[in-house]
Structure 1
Amino acid sequence: MRQLIKKLLPSVAVALTVTSSSLPIPARAQTYPIDCAILLCLSGGWPASVPCSGARAEFIRRITPWPVEAPLQIWRCPMGASFKTAPAANSADRIFEVFFQNNSTEPRQSFPVHDIADPIAAPGRIPEAPDYLVHADQALRLVQDRADIDISGPEFNFVRSIRVFDVRYARQHESGRDGDCNRSATVVQGSYGTQGDFAWQRSSIAALPAEHAGLERWGQNCPVIYNRSVFVDWRDYEGNYGFEQLNY
């Protein structure tokens, strides 16, 4: 799989360039081909190449506050043409066939037309009560569209493996003469559904992957801890683990 990706990357780069230059002017502004590159490069474990370096940079930029976005916006990569042919016998081939079909489908918007606000609004200051950041009616809310083909098969499990943990506020410290330990935190997790739809939901410090740094002593006695970070992890097509953390 990885060797095949390395061989195809130059062709993919050309295909994306041609697609971008042939789009009508309004569609060209969407710059959706970068998500086709993210999809392909992520599946292969980010192989070293110019297209994949740019794709990974955009992947990370999208989780750099504020706002925190879905790192892969698969609805911006039109793949509907794959419905025109029979499914490939090799599931790995299916990932590539979607890039080399003629497709007149226009790119989709990043956010629904009637709801462009940040799905979990972030105020200008850090509140004392962490629940202020995530209202009850926004605890689980679909905020993006989905892939325009069926990606429910195991060859696209790498898409559903992506998790985004937004530690918006985590603080632990002693207060008062009694030495009480005050802890408060707001953590939300973004994840992908069966068809690549992205949603946020409430999470917790306990749900953070072991690779997250900065909260290792949370709940142990009461050392002073303060952390705000975004952590994204994933597994590529072969199941290899990767992650990035941004502190702010």
Structure 2
Amino acid sequence: MSLVGTSDRTQAQTYPIDCAILLCLSGGWPASVPCSRARAEFIRRITPWPIEPPLQIWRCPMGASFQLDDSVDRGGRFYDVLFDSLRRPLPQTFPDAPLQAASMPVPAVFRGTEAEPGQVPGGLALRLVQNRADIDISGPEFNFVRSIRVYDVRYARQRESDRDGDCNRSAVVVLGTYGTQGDFSWQRSSPGALPEAHVGLERYGDHCPSIYHRSVFVDWRDYEGNYGFEQVNY
């Protein structure tokens, strides 16, 4: 079963789909048309090649506010605004319609002095954010974002040498993780760091059965801490 659509369609859905991924992932992927589409895109992004961050939170605008006091943490309020928007029921006349971008907040945070409704405040500073969330998501309510781990097993092989009987093993595994503000980065890892749910390398390092394995494995914990994972072999 192929989960990959045309590049044009993917690009057209990018704006709302990451907001849907954010919400549906946090809720444990509840059964619904928007969440089914969001999960399909989540998996498509880790289906080689190329391998992409499964959640691209910087594509989901969450913050648009006149913030008067920088000492006040308003992350929780932005969280509620975003999630309340996404929880609005889809129009009954279009039961299969995707989540609409029109319901999302503007992708920027405004800081400045107080102004009348509908007016731009004086001393406005517009802060645009790339490759991370556009609001502060450092609080525990967004731990589910930072729980996502992407293991790219580029190869892991093991075989007994025909010449001297030694066991030859080699592997390249890289791990993708999310930072405090949803920024994504890669680092070197190893087969031994793979989660127990990963399948295919259970006998790696055990005597010397012949093994050649390539896969991408992603796991996460939802808002309530429930564990989930997906694996794509190639």
Give the TM-score of the pair, scaled to structure 2: 0.72
Compared CA separation, residues 82 and 237, structure 1 to 2 (3 A) = farther
Task: Pick from 2, 23, 36 the counterpart of residue 40 of structure 1.
Answer: 23
Q: Between Structure 1 and Structure 2, whose CA radius of gyration is higher?
A: 2
1:163 corresponds to which residue?
Answer: 149
Task: Determine helix, strand or coil for the equivalent of 2:217.
Answer: strand
Percent identical pairs in the alignment equals 76
2:99 matches 1:97:
no
**Superposition pairs of residues 176-215 of structure 1, within 5 angstroms:** 176-215=162-201
Provide structure 1 residue ranges, at least 5 long, that are not aligned to the other structure.
1-27, 107-143
Q: Which amino acid aligns with 2:38?
A: A
The CA deviation at 1:104 is: 3.5
**Superposition pairs of residues 95-244 of structure 1, within 5 angstroms:** 95-98=79-82, 100=85, 103-105=105-107, 145-244=131-230
Deviation at 1:176, TM superposition (A): 2.6
Q: Partners in 1 of 2:221 and 2:171 — Cα distance?
A: 27
The DSSP-based 3-state class of the residue aligned with 2:64 is helix
Offset, 1:178: 1.8
Query: TM-score, length-normalised on structure 1?
Result: 0.68
**Other-structure match for 1:31:** 14
| Cα RMSD after superposing both structures | 2.3
Q: Counterpart amino acid of 1:169?
A: Y
Q: Deviations over 1:153-200 (max 9, x none)?
A: 000000000000000010000113321110010000000000000000
Q: Does the 8 Å CA contact 1:78/1:103 hold for their aligned counterparts? A: yes
Q: How far does the alpha carbon of each residue in 1:31-68 deviate from its partner, in whole angstroms, 9 at most, with x for none?
A: 31100000000000000001100000000000000000
More helix by share: 1
Conserved 8 A contact 1:82-1:149: no
Residue correspondences, number: 182
Q: 1:240 to 1:246 in 2, by over 3 A?
A: same
* CA–CA separation in structure 1 for the residues paired with 2:13 and 2:165: 54
Q: Which amino acid aligns with 2:220?
A: W
CA distance in 1, matches of 2:207, 2:229: 29
8 Å contact from structure 2 (residues 61, 107) kept in 1 = yes
Equivalent residue of 1:31, what SS? helix
- When structure 1 is superposed on structure 2, of 93-102 and 228-237 the one drifting more is 93-102
User: Could you tell me which residue of structure 2 aligns to residue 55 of structure 1?
Assistant: 38
CA gap 1:171/1:247 in 2 versus in 1, 3 angstroms: same
Provide closer, same or farther for how the CA distance between residues 97 and 60 of structure 1 changes in structure 2, counting only shifts above 3 A: same
Q: Deviations over 1:97-127 (max 9, x none)?
A: 1254763438xxxxxxxxxxxxxxxxxxxxx
- Farther-moved stretch of structure 1 (96-105 vs 185-194): 96-105
